[in-house]
Structure 1
Amino acid sequence: MEDVKKVLMKKSKRSKMEQFGKAISFLCIALIVVVVLSIFYFVASKGLATFFVNKVNVFDFLFGSKWNPSVVGSDGKALVGALPMILGSFIVTLLSAILATPFAIGAAVFMVEISPKQGQKILQPVIELLVGIPSVVYGFIGLSVIVPAIRSVFGGTGFGILAGTFVLFVMILPTVTTMTVDALNSVPRYYREASLALGATRWQTTYKVVLRAAVPGILTAVVFGMARAFGEALAIQMVIGNAALIPTSLTTPASTLTSILTMGIGNTIMGTLENNVLWSLALILLLMSLLFNIIIRLIGRKGAMK
């Protein structure tokens, strides 16, 4: 009897494999959490050193308009105003998202509602190709095509917010389009059938039923594209002009957080003020990425509750 009990209580091979799989999954998740927390700690410790070690005022850093960390102003304070880069990043991100959203929605509607077969044969490969192009290629195209075109039309150098907007528009368009297609495909088919049965036209069904039902998914796509645009570095650096000045027009040289970071991080000494303020810019980028992720989650949760 005891032998039978031991046999029945003994864990099977499948049970052992299941426990082993759970342990591996837990270790992988724990590793990811540790890596993310380590990145946050490293960037935060370096970025906050500007304010705790170098004694830079937070408001002077966030709202100051002059950027030259190696120079001390007449008031004895370092010129580390990050407002020009913050404004440049937000302006370029918002303009590129505003420009990309109508094109993305139009392409997604064509691929899902108007001509799904042609959309899969023609537009889908094109979108996949655009996703796979490296950012440096976009930067070279912007430098060779967009900047000269803006220079010939508006005058000036051609570098600035407008050139960066066009480059980021092309870069985020595939992302927003792909996610919008997924949002339209997630709308139940009976929504369309019910609308058509009530006498609505095909366009009325698309505009008043399908698109409205897919609004949470479309908003998620737009915010995700904005997060991509906000964090882009190399392509935007090549066309924006990299002038740490508050933007006065769309065609004058400006800068973003990423462009200043990529230009200066390799030319400073670790632990100096010049290096710490760059880490502070990186901390702002990290916090903005976190904010974008929170917004995406809130939109997704709101869409799931409907």
Structure 2
Amino acid sequence: MNDVQRKLMQPSAATKQDRRGKIISLICIVFILILTVSLIGFIAVRGLATFFTNHVSLREFFFSSAWNPGQLGKNGQPQVGAAAMITASFAVTLLSAILATPFAVAVALYMTELAPKRGARLLQPVIELLVGIPSVVYGFIGLIVVVPAIRTLFGGTGFGVLAGSLVLFVMILPTITSLTIDSLKQVPDYYRSASLALGATRWQTIYKVILRAALPGILTAVVFGMARAFGEALAVQMVIGNAALMPTSLVTPTATLTSQLTSQMGDTIMGTLPNNALWSLALVLLLMSVIFNVLIKWIGKRGEMQK
């Protein structure tokens, strides 16, 4: 074999670069997998210690609202009832999504169907501004504006589910709006043309054709917004009251899973029951995140099947 044949059989510089790129990508993927599994495993071990090490029953944790892990109750069992925080978390999430969805869909329709160029020019900077505002700013505005307004209109302290929902409503609005805009833009133009050619009005085309075709994407946007609202901590903590009590109305102080975690995690000792109980709350948050992601995937697949 002469030198020319050897050179022809050797891999080129481009081939070597491709191999290096594949190796680097594989290393990054493995690192991400290890990191994800480690995080899930750590939270699961710490969270399950409440039930296996401290012998707290699942019924007591999920259906009791008595939360004081540092003391024993009248039955001699630890007071580790997360029902109040779970209820409050779902309440602020659902209410904020119900409030934000109509506004988000209306803004998205205006930007894509009614006034595409002018709507994008006017509203796109507003959406980007809302996305870029830090959570603590939302919480501070809610503390000095929303809470006093609720106190004046409805009485009480002003803290509670309603205040948290109004703050989250503004926070998740740009998320739902942006994803809804993307869903509406993905509707083929011939859907609109065919509907108008059959004699449908503009509003009939929007309501009967465009919104129905974009419905899976809109539902995905709503679930994304709910996932953001369910995991928000600082802004909600500032306006909800941080009282581990079952909410009896929209204007009574309560606490969510995230607000309880952020307010108490620094005051507990690793390995103790109060600390393990907080990790159990974190495990519930992790499970809810998984459920939201599975729901998003399911809605996406349903939308692909309909197409």
Alignment TM-score > 0.5, same fold: yes
Alpha-carbon shift at residue 304 of structure 1 (Å): 1.8
Alpha-carbon shift at residue 8 of structure 1 (Å): 3.1
TM-align CA RMSD:
1.0
> In the alignment, what sits opposite 1:257?
257
Runs of 4+ in 1 over 4 A off after TM superposition: 1-5
Say which is worse superposed, 269-278 or 3-12, in terms of deviation.
3-12
> In the alignment, what sits opposite 1:165?
165
Give, in whole Å, the separation in 1 of the partners of 2:25 and 2:195. Answer: 45
Give the share of equivalent positions with the same residue, in percent: 66
SS of match in other structure, 1:149: helix
Alpha-carbon shift at residue 7 of structure 1 (Å): 3.1
Give, in whole Å, the separation in 2 of the partners of 1:227 and 1:46. Answer: 23
Give, in whole Å, the separation in 1 of the partners of 2:50 and 2:136. Answer: 31
> In the alignment, what sits opposite 1:299?
299
Give, in whole Å, the separation in 1 of the partners of 2:96 and 2:114. Answer: 26
Pair 1:21-2:21 in alignment: yes
Deviation per residue, 1:174-212 (Å, 9 max, x gap): 000000000000111111111111111111111111110
Alignment of 1:208-287 (within 5 A): 208-287=208-287
Letter in 2 for 1:59: R
Letter in 2 for 1:236: V
Say which is worse superposed, 192-201 or 267-276, in terms of deviation.
192-201
Letter in 1 for 2:146: I
Give, in whole Å, the separation in 1 of the partners of 2:26 and 2:200. Answer: 51
SS of match in other structure, 2:11: coil
Give, in whole Å, the separation in 2 of the partners of 1:258 and 1:97. Answer: 18
Give, in whole Å, the separation in 1 of the partners of 2:70 and 2:3. Answer: 80
Give, in whole Å, the separation in 1 of the partners of 2:196 and 2:19. Answer: 52
Letter in 2 for 1:155: G
Alpha-carbon shift at residue 5 of structure 1 (Å): 4.2
Pair 1:101-2:92 in alignment: no
Give, in whole Å, the separation in 2 of the partners of 1:25 and 1:192. Answer: 42
Give, in whole Å, the separation in 1 of the partners of 2:142 and 2:151. Answer: 12
Deviation per residue, 1:198-236 (Å, 9 max, x gap): 111111111111110000100000000000000000000
> In the alignment, what sits opposite 2:202?
202
Alpha-carbon shift at residue 123 of structure 1 (Å): 0.5
Letter in 2 for 1:24: I
Letter in 2 for 1:235: A
Alpha-carbon shift at residue 9 of structure 1 (Å): 2.3
The total of aligned residue pairs comes to 306
Give, in whole Å, the separation in 2 of the partners of 1:74 and 1:251. Answer: 29
Alignment of 1:113-128 (within 5 A): 113-128=113-128
Alignment of 1:107-146 (within 5 A): 107-146=107-146
Say which is worse superposed, 149-158 or 191-200, in terms of deviation.
191-200
Alpha-carbon shift at residue 3 of structure 1 (Å): 4.6
> In the alignment, what sits opposite 2:147?
147
Deviation per residue, 1:108-155 (Å, 9 max, x gap): 000000001121111100000000000000000000000000000000
Report the TM-score when normalising by structure 1. Answer: 0.98
Alpha-carbon shift at residue 4 of structure 1 (Å): 4.8
SS of match in other structure, 1:187: coil
Give, in whole Å, the separation in 2 of the partners of 1:300 and 1:31. Answer: 28
Give, in whole Å, the separation in 2 of the partners of 1:154 and 1:29. Answer: 52
Alpha-carbon shift at residue 75 of structure 1 (Å): 1.0
> In the alignment, what sits opposite 1:60?
60
Give, in whole Å, the separation in 2 of the partners of 1:27 and 1:219. Answer: 35
Structure 2 unaligned regions, length at least 5: none
Letter in 1 for 2:64: G
